Amino acid sequence: MIIIREQFTMHKFKLFGTFFLIITLTGCASLQMQSVTTPTTNSTPTATVSSASTATTSTTPVQTTTAATPDNTANTNNSSNTSNNDEPIQTPGETVDGQYTSLWDVIRVGFTLNHYYDNPTVQYWVNFYTKDPNLIENIAVQATPYLYFIVDQIQERNIPTEIALLPIVESGFQPKGRSWCGALGLWQLMPQTARDLDTGEENRFYNARESIDDSTTAALNYLKYLYNYFNGDWMLALAAYNSGPGTVQNAMGYNSARGRPTDFWDLRLPSQTESYVPKLLALAIIINDPARYNITLPPIPNHPLIGTATIPQQMSLAQAAKFAGINEDELKELNPAFTRNVTPPKYLGTYTLNLPISKVETFEENCAANPGVTGLERYTLATANASGYGTYKVHRGDTLDAVSRFTGVSVATLESYNHLHNSALFAGQVLHYPIDTTAAYQYITYTVRPGDTLSSIALRYHVSLFYLMQWNDLKSQLIHVGERLVIRQKISY
């Protein structure tokens, strides 16, 4: 049950440029939901997604040696494009008890789309992706921990396994891939789209768009809906996933009004979308016979590599990694949805960790044996500015006395440090104040009790409200009973 971690690490720096190129080519049209008039013959989308605690992997084997039979047929609407007859296909490999041992064979057997092997645009992208064999090989290494779960979810929905390759087009299989316009995650979900699809929790500790579980579930549900919406045409469904169903519907209406074909290849679509579908088909052609293109795919077994464990209490990711017996970087790679160095507090709900499947029991046993160990006392989001000063932006109604109480710096020091000749302040003014960078500190954690306010806690521990908010990445003074706050205490001078 090895996740090929060493191989992944070796390729990290090489991968960055590759993934940036992939994301740049994909652009920002992905999952831009548009208002469309839904035909009465189609059902409404099923966009219910797994919660953060849903298991990441299935415990049942994926795919027998019998090919999948999803509810679609090859798209052969356009007579100017040839079928798959001339496409080279690799012979499936070893089986044990009727199951393929390689996940790549499972994926190949599940291919059902017409790949339009002789289409010039498809062949252009085949040449693009195979120009450097390391391109696909490196992305496949990146995909290794996540691919079983994705294929399992695809089979559960009875859709073509070509869809398992779509994150290559979208993000280069980067869970934290971000486009210039804000699309995020393996499937490049936009914020509003994620909300429309009910992707899951999004708070200052957790972003469901970066969750393998949540984003995959939402994206596949949406793709299946688009397939039904476009009457069983996967080419149109994929185009709509990229540019929005309204864009595809309008292009079809334009052609229909002029007596032209309304299949994907004859539509006038954004140039990005016209390339988007051929990219996926090109990738399927390559995976169908990688040896033909001098590509060696990393071995991925046909069983789960990662499992999930419930987090019993808020803890630092460093402590969670210790409990699991793995490196902290590996933990973060498997759990990209956590946006801080700590797990979410209990008042936000119950969360799970993705772990190498052999480490789940180790983590659970160590948590049970050490219920009070969280690692939070060593955690802080903000410390003294390296330049030795902090900044405060003046709000309407602020006075020097109020700023002094908020920052913990005397009025005289504020006046001297900012060369103020009087006490008048104006909204938007930025004040600088000195920070003692020579002092040694320790960090303690405080659990919010009924009746507590940030101001009362700051007063109790002789710290400024400003720093208390900074240390805990708080955007407002709203706190909740049971929430843990980090407090910095000066211990030497």
What is the token pair recorded at 406? 């908020």
Distance CA 286, CA 115 (A): 11
Amino acid at 406: F
Q: Which residues are catalytic?
A: 170
Q: Is 287 helix (H, G, I), strand (E, B) or coil?
A: helix
Q: Is 99 helix (H, G, I), strand (E, B) or coil?
A: strand
> C-alpha angle with apex 194: 189 to 195, nearest 5 degrees?
160
The values of phi and psi at residue 389, to 5°, are -145, 155
Amino acid at 74: A
> Following CA atoms 259, 261, 265, 267 in sequence, which dihedral angle do they give, to the nearest 10 degrees?
40
Max alpha carbon distance in the chain (Å)? 85
Is residue 131 within 8 A of residue 311, CB to CB? The reply is no
What is the token pair recorded at 349? 């709900």
> C-alpha angle with apex 380: 342 to 378, nearest 5 degrees?
80
Distance CA 425, CA 478 (A): 26
Q: What is the DSSP letter of 450?
A: T
Amino acid at 329: D
Buried b (16+ CB within 10 A) or exposed e, 434-448: bbeeeeeeeeeebeb
Amino acid at 447: T
